[in-house]
Amino acid sequence: MAANLFDHLDGSAVQGEGKVRWAPRAPYRPHERYDLMLVPRVKGWREDAEALAALDRIAADPDVAEVAREGGEVWLRLERGWVERAGAALEEGDAGEAALADLAAGQGYAVYFWGANTTKALHIGHLRNLAIGHAIGASLEQAGARVERRSLICDVGRSMGEAMAGVVQSGRDSQVWPEGGEKSDHFVGTCYADYVTAGRNGGGGPTDDGAEDSLARESSLYKDRADALIVSVLRGDQEALELWSKTRAWVIGGQRKTLARLGIAFDKVIFESDFLPEVLELSNQGLAEGKLVRRYGDEMVMYETGREELEEMPLVRADGLPTQHMRALAYWAAAPELDDMVSLQVCGNEWVSHVTCRRQLMDELGVANGNGYASRKGGGPPTHDVFHGMVARERQTITSSKEGALLVDDLVEWLDEQIGADGERAAVRGTHPAPERIAPQVTLGYFLLQPSTKRVDFDPDKLLWEDSSLGWDLARAQAHGGGGAALRGDAAAEDPDYRFAVVQAEMYRRHLRSSVEKLDVLPLARYVSHFARWYAEEERPPEVERVVRSVLDQGQRGLGLEAA
């Protein structure tokens, strides 16, 4: 049996018209005698000649020792020779990763999953996006795809003007950022928040008119310092451009340090500001064709969608400043360098209506982007939208506009302190092969065990809860030294725990295939977490330890947690 165990058995269970008669299932825990359960896929299998014939074919396989019917269940035991061969490869560190590369061989993917504003440090509202996108990219890569991790950075807009105005207000706009001390993205984020708060309280910026988030504030002219600065950037004013460039660099430099600590790097970084010419072109086209209108009273260029969830999209202010809606439209209408690549964008489900209306407008404007694979939903690329639920803390959703959001840097530091302050946790760190990776791995891994479409009610304490935190489950397993006595002679192939571990390793391909096909890593994350928890429950023989470590190392790579 050279192929994957489950793929091989699936082939034996199919005949004739290709209908699957039996599905092999690995038990959740070791069974004293059997390795697999065969689940019938047809009703009345006892009277179904094809089902019985398939069962006979499976039983006749040279790597199958026994197929037994016990009551209403059918069980399978593998030949010890197969267990020995598969186990030996795993013990040597070969989890069959090279054989996984056929799952997405020859395919190219551009994965967009970092689109933070250049106005502040990364906070926990960004973490879910980063964790999911990074894991999808890692699983595609492990499956043999060519993956390019992309970032579309929001570096122009009302919020950028507010950050610039806040920096000027601080009096530190002319300095060169010193090495050490406060992180530059934290500083700019404080300046940005101070400026917005001062305006809300009557300090010269936007007043408390209900525009609590940055996207809503883009819909109006405030004629304050922030407006003046960002419009000066659009007009090419040298002094404003220098301040804009410095503010942007401070934030991006700080954010990249945070990403590096998480083990995340991007292959291509794209700035929305590079697509301002497309903004003008699309705006003029839409107005000329009657697809867009100017709003009475302030001349804002608008798109009336005809949809209840987002009746109108403000696109360009009277002073020429594009909103985030228009900047995204301009990029995806051009979307360069996507030839022969499947593109996917990871974002929160608060953007569903925006994406839907943007695609609708692109179709109405007849924007024919020939690059890449267009979405079946229309509106050109990205090919796929991967939406996830928002992150909430104390029952309030966390967005970039919310003040006081827990920063990623602070969360990682807090985790390190919590691990060190507890004896058992400190012991895990003390025996872990790479203790510096534990906190970042826990930080990202937590979000991979959550169903992506549901909101996550976040509490930092949950990151270290046993049995519900993927990263901590992995850390405990990797620090676990086995501790059991070695199995004598060739006894490993008859040991239930060893057989269980070897068979579980064969499940990896199935879960990775699902991740690639559905662009959802949750089943793979659950599999890795369960395997890690089972291994760490008690002392295990060194033969079992070597098998498990091989699979867990593979799982780390497939979920993007290896470098974390």
pTM of the entire predicted model: 0.94
* Separation CA 551–CA 553 (nearest Å): 5
Phi, psi of 413 (to 5 degrees): -65, -45
Angle of helix 5-12 relative to helix 496-518, nearest 10 degrees? 80
Please write the tens of the pLDDT for every residue from 207-231.
Answer: 444 334 667 788 888 999 999 999 9
Residue 210 has a pLDDT of: 37
With 0-12 CB in 10 A as exposed, 13-18 as middle and 19+ as buried, what is 487?
middle
Residue 404 has a pLDDT of: 60
Burial 505-541 (b: 16+ CB within 10 A, else e): bbbbbbbbbbbbeebbbbebbebbbbbbbbbbeeebb
What is the residue whose two structure tokens read 């819909």? Answer: 219
Q: Which of 136, 128, 135, 130 is nearest to 151 (CA)?
A: 130
Mean pLDDT by 10 residues, the chain (564 residues): 82 71 94 96 90 93 94 94 95 86 95 94 94 98 97 95 96 85 94 89 50 72 95 97 97 96 96 96 96 94 95 95 95 86 94 94 82 70 93 63 76 96 95 95 96 93 91 96 83 95 96 97 98 96 95 96 81
* Separation CA 168–CA 225 (nearest Å): 10
CA atoms within 13 A on the CB side of 466: 11
* Separation CA 75–CA 126 (nearest Å): 46
